Structure 1
């Protein structure tokens, strides 16, 4: 029956072009859990696919470090929640309009003798971050050897592990996305008094999409779709669904 149905699909539907979107472990934006893609990006792709019938957006799973080579090899044509400043200058990419503002904050264990001044001094502290991520305090340098040599920074493969090692007292200060810690504290409200979070950002960024020049769609068309999703409040509902904006807001 399925084969018979496909015979009667219109040529326009059958010929719909696919746009591969590169994603890597970056909760709450993307995570692979029990072989299922979860997070803001899979939900946003569903909104993009529902909002138009020109192309179909699909996921291409890569890693934070491998994404540059995979892009060069033509494995995908678009990224979401990405910045040109994260190593993409010089690549044939156009940036879309901004649809989400984010940043990264420092986290440490709370104690009676610690306040916001704790985050102003790095010397003698065990720093921890995520492999392949770009950090403001290091001049957006994501090279793991450089981060280890310059700052003694320990690098792990997820933001969850950053928090886990802080809770185990195996690190002193860690960097996570503000959106991540907002969702984390929503899921673990009992830890709100356990964690001290910086009130200022390590870096701030204007999130949008990066699209390969010469792709099957153009950046102005993509901007139009994002604008429609913003004006209809669908993006704002998506941010609220994933608890990106609530618990903690740095400046």
Structure 2
């Protein structure tokens, strides 16, 4: 059973010692022996092909239906996480929240294959160059280092990554100026391809069973993500 995963920290990144997806795969394999879940690393813009009928993978964890899945042969479980995205910049003397009022004359760090919603219009990273001066990398963590090094001026980041980095003791908090304004929020589910060895109903049932055993709560607590959690036993949505 192949789980598609692309660089999207804290949910998955080879730049991290561990992440939510790898931990959840281990939990699933320890919990049951009907399915053997295995990680399959893909590029972000390869996820639609990966879950297609002829694709390599069966499911992708922590993904939003709004990120290019409309009209595709997939189904999603109930949401587990409600995430948010905002801009960050390097903290320097005299820089205030006013820095985030415009992207004009700023180099924006983005990730190839991602979808962004800066101004109420969903755009792919490749489309950003039509409206902004964008630098595209393959990793949000790369962009974060570029930001700290002064190579880019501003970047979008999800609140979940900021929270996980804080939990890991990373010192980005003192070095980052974080925008007060959220420009996007989204719901993250497990998305299952049609005609796969795993069905949406089975994936949903596994999520429910793990939640009943407390595994979902414990996993998200470990990464400091509990405040983003929308699915708990007794709070089913």
Superposed pair shares fold, TM > 0.5: yes
CA contact (8 A) 2:74 2:192 kept: yes
Equivalent of residue 131 in structure 1, options 112, 124, 136: 112
The number of residues matched between the two structures is 225
Tell me whether 207-216 or 181-190 shows the greater mean CA deviation. Answer: 181-190
Distance 2:173 2:14 in 1: 26
Distance 2:155 2:38 in 1: 32
Equivalent of residue 149 in structure 1, options 111, 126, 130: 130
Which aligned pairs between 1:54-73 and structure 2 lie closer than 5 A?
Answer: 54-72=34-52, 73=54
Aligned Cα root-mean-square deviation (Å): 2.2
Distance 2:105 2:226 in 1: 32
Larger Rg belongs to: 1
Could you tell me which runs of 5 or more consecutive residues in structure 1 were left unpaired when the two chains were aligned: 1-18, 247-251
Distance 2:88 2:125 in 1: 22
Distance 2:95 2:146 in 1: 18
CA contact (8 A) 1:129 1:176 kept: no
Instruction: Quote the offset at 1:77 in angstroms.
Output: 1.5
Distance 1:187 1:45 in 2: 21
Distance 1:228 1:116, change over 3 A: farther
Tell me whether 71-80 or 180-189 shows the greater mean CA deviation. Answer: 180-189
Query: Which TM-score applies when normalising by structure 2?
Result: 0.85
Instruction: Quote the offset at 1:98 in angstroms.
Output: 0.9
Report the secondary structure of 1:201's partner residue: strand
Distance 2:34 2:170 in 1: 43
Runs of 4+ in 1 over 6 A off after TM superposition: none
